[in-house]
Amino acid sequence: MSNEIENGEWDEKKVINRLKKKEERAFVLLVRRFQARLFSIAYAMTLDSEESRDIVQEVFLKVFRSMDRFKGDARLSTWLHRITVNECLNWRRRWRIRRRSQHRPLTDESDDPAAVNLTDKENPESRLRVKEIRDRYLATLQALPEKTRAVFILKELEGMSYEQIGAALGLKRGTVASRIHNARRKLKKSLQDEPGE
């Protein structure tokens, strides 16, 4: 058995081979390396911690179950990103169905961990303003078309190139560039459209 795997060092080819043999140690390495990143993507897509955990867990289980189908023609991270985005898009479709039956506020601060942490030094007016800006930003983020949002998130959180994003989502480089531009244009408007400006 490879000492590198045992020591927790990441060698993608070796990890992939061991994952195909369903070796637990390789799976642990995979989870440790990607769980935070995939959670970030899922959270940015859903703005819901619990759903994000479910999504990420499902992503890892899918990878574990279907590792033998991974051809190795792309990086493991590209594959993981693609599965995560698809799971998030599926979640959004299910969420829309649930939303019809039960209203779920987007920015309920009582259970939203993305709530702004303000110090006691902030006066109430500032707190309110900051909260309004944040709420507008998040609402605009959630209102972005699904793939535009996914492109934007992969760029901002993963620092992927346009080409890498295109490979992950099956888009042309030019399409990635224009979608990022459109996302930022809308989000910029949400930050600029403030009272008094």
Partner 1 sequence: MADRSYSCKLEEINRFHDGETYPAETRRIEEHLQECPECRQELTRLREISGKLRQTVKTAHKEMDFQRFEQQILTAARQHTPLRDRLKESLFSWRLAIPAAAAAILIVVFINNLFQPSLSSGPSAIIDSFTGQVKSVMILETTSKRQTVIWYSEENKAENASNPTRI
- Applying the rule CB under 8 A, the residues between 3 and 42 that interact with partner 1 are 21-22, 24, 27-28, 31-32, 35-36, 39-40
81 is a contact residue toward partner 1 (CB under 8 A): no
Both ends of the chain: CA-CA distance in Å? 64
Of 5, 18, 55, 60, the residue at the interface with partner 1 (CB under 8 A) is 60
105 is a contact residue toward partner 1 (CB under 8 A): no
177 is a contact residue toward partner 1 (CB under 8 A): yes
Q: Which CB atom, from 123 or from 192, has the smaller least distance to partner 1?
A: 192
Find the part of the chain contacting partner 1 (CB under 8 A) among 9-17, 89-97, 107-115, 121-129.
107-115
Of 78, 95, 114, 142, the residue at the interface with partner 1 (CB under 8 A) is 114
Find the part of the chain contacting partner 1 (CB under 8 A) among 4-12, 77-85, 119-127, 172-180.
172-180
65 is a contact residue toward partner 1 (CB under 8 A): yes
Q: Which CB atom, from 47 or from 168, has the smaller least distance to partner 1?
A: 47
Question: Nearest-CA neighbor of 151 among 127, 173, 120, 124?
Answer: 173
List, in order, residues 6 or more apart from 169 with CB less than 8 Å away.
Answer: 82, 85, 147, 150, 151, 154, 176
Q: How many residues bind partner 1 (CB under 8 A)?
A: 48
Of 101, 102, 110, 117, the residue at the interface with partner 1 (CB under 8 A) is 117
Q: Count CB atoms within 10 A of the CB of residue 7.
A: 7
CB 134 within 8 A of CB 113: no
Distance between CA atoms of residues 42 and 40, nearest Å: 5
**Residue reference for tokens 């259970």:** 111
Question: Nearest-CA neighbor of 188 among 145, 133, 142?
Answer: 133
CB 161 within 8 A of CB 88: no
